[in-house]
Amino acid sequence: MLRRVAEGVLVHESEFLQSNAVVVQGGDGVLLVDPGITTGELAELAAELRGRDLPVVAGFSTHPDWDHVLWHPDLGAPPRYGTTRGAASIRAVISEPDWTEQIAEGLPPEHADEIPMELLGQIDPLPEGARSIPWDGPAVRIIEHRAHAPGHAALFVEQPGVLIAGDMVSDILMPFLDLQAASPVEDYLDALETFGRIADDVTLFVPGHGSVGDSEQFRARIELDRRYVEALRDDRMPQDPRIGPGAPLDWLTDVAQWQRERLAQRAENS
């Protein structure tokens, strides 16, 4: 069910990793960001939007991970935007003859049979360096960076000051670095610096996974993410509430250790 978090901004939270689909109301309809996750959820989201007389006039994918490039026929066929790099990344995947098998390997077993593949990844690339969403609605600024995934972007809805953050600043997931990038640590820290520069303008933020927060929580999560990444950079196991005893997801400790080992290997081979 959609819930209003700010004027003209609604959020639907999935059962899968507290994934947040974001709806921004415009003049002729809505911008739908990162819809998901299961076929049933997407159909229910489409039905609720129809019931509110809110047609989807544009979509946006914050980055090319499978759970952020989903769609359902009931949502219509508007342009589904992404950054140039983000769209190219997922389109390269779905151009492979065995792409469904490749993606299926990474799906959560409890939801694997419920993930709609038919329209996955059909993202329309915005021009290189595009700074805003082309639509009839409130100004939505694109903040592209290189953390987490190629072509990752946050969206900033200037009025009422809502940041749609993508897979960053989560209270349940620590930073997942793009370990295939040339400079994963530097990329992530640079993105956090970018977030810090707009923090004074952010009244509310919506992470890709986890709890919506206010401006104070936004700054706190930026700092939490920074400490995590700096610990990995320094080959230390991060002391972070999202990993270890009492953390919301017990498997994240193994992921953190894996990230640390991979970065150490990169350092040895450089």
Q: How many CB atoms lie within 10 A of CB 44?
A: 16
Mean per-residue pLDDT of the chain: 94
Split at pLDDT 50, 70, 90, the class of 250 is confident
Nearest to 16 by CA among 151, 107, 133: 107
Q: How confident is the model over 193-249, as pLDDT tens digits?
A: 999 999 999 999 999 999 999 999 999 999 999 999 999 999 999 999 999 888 888
Segments making up each domain of the chain, as ranges: 3-269
Residue 163: C-alpha distances to residues 24, 97, 159 (Å): 11, 36, 10
| pLDDT score for 235 | 92
* Among 6, 70, 78, CA closest to 38: 70
- Domain 3-269 indexed as CATH 3.40.50.10800: no
Helix (H) or strand (E) holding 157: strand 153-157
Over residues 162-172, the mean pLDDT reads 97
State residue 44 phi and psi, 5-degree precision: -65, -40
Enter the tokens of residue 38: 């299961």
- Predicted confidence at residue 268, as pLDDT, reads 82
Is 158's pLDDT higher than 90? yes
109-151 tens-digit pLDDT: 887 889 998 999 999 999 998 999 999 999 999 999 999 999 9
Where does the pLDDT of residue 252 fall: very low under 50, low under 70, confident under 90, or very high at 90 and above?
very high
Residue 127 is given by DSSP the state P
